[in-house]
Amino acid sequence: MDQQVAVVTGAGSGIGRAVALELAAHGWHLVLAGRRPDPLAAVAASAAAPALAVPTDVTDPAAVDALFDTAVDTYGRIDLLFNNAGSFGTPTPVEDLTAADWRAVVDLNLTGAFLCAQAAFRRMKQQTPQGGRIINNGSISAHAPRPHSVAYTATKHAVTGLTKSLSLEGRPYRIACGQIDIGNAATDMTAAMSTGVRQADGRTAPEPTMDVADVARTVRHMAALPLEANVQFATVMATAMPYVGRG
């Protein structure tokens, strides 16, 4: 089809913004989701293709359903979900993490990802032509933790299970699901990398970052594949960051 439609969550800043603008530059029509209306509107205004800003709390099932209904009502179908909304939370030793702070990270990073994937899956299964693609934003932390990141690390490991389950259940319906695991893309969320972050051995040290545009191009490549092909897992990271041999 000439027109392809992508829903991007966490689209108002960082990786979500970069991916949205990259997709739009290559003709994708966009539905941009996030909690803050003004950044979403700014991304929509900057996009080189039609883009609709839909302020959404992805932890709210009703809001998620409304988001995907709006996407279908506006464009007729959904070809891609970039499941990107998430938060690191406040770095905290495991013994000091409150139940409320744990739940906040789990609700956004895992439950929110599930709700969006479920809503996309339902519509991709029902639409004609059938099928579509879901790309989950994992993290290097889906493989190896940072100190004081138990909630974030647990959710990102769980996202890998979500990706695998969606891949399996999507096979009969031409729904492909892959995951991009990102390390140290330069965004507001990683601004502290240049001044120093806690390492596995207890030191605080600066870490290299990479251009977020490199992430966006990778997501676009994954999204552009025919549904008969899938990048199941991709790791894109700053070459010299401490990941291999992290601790």
Residue type, 55: P
- 221 CB-contact burial (10 Å; exposed 0-12 / middle 13-18 / buried 19+): exposed
Given 75, 152, 173, 243, which residue is catalytic? Answer: 152
Neighbours of 245 (CB within 10 A): 7
Residue type, 122: R
Active site residue 152: yes
Place of tokens 């979900």: 81
Whole-Å CA distances, 191 to 68, 92, 124, 185, 233: 32, 18, 36, 9, 26
DSSP-assigned beta bridge partners for residue 185: 210
Catalytic residues: 152
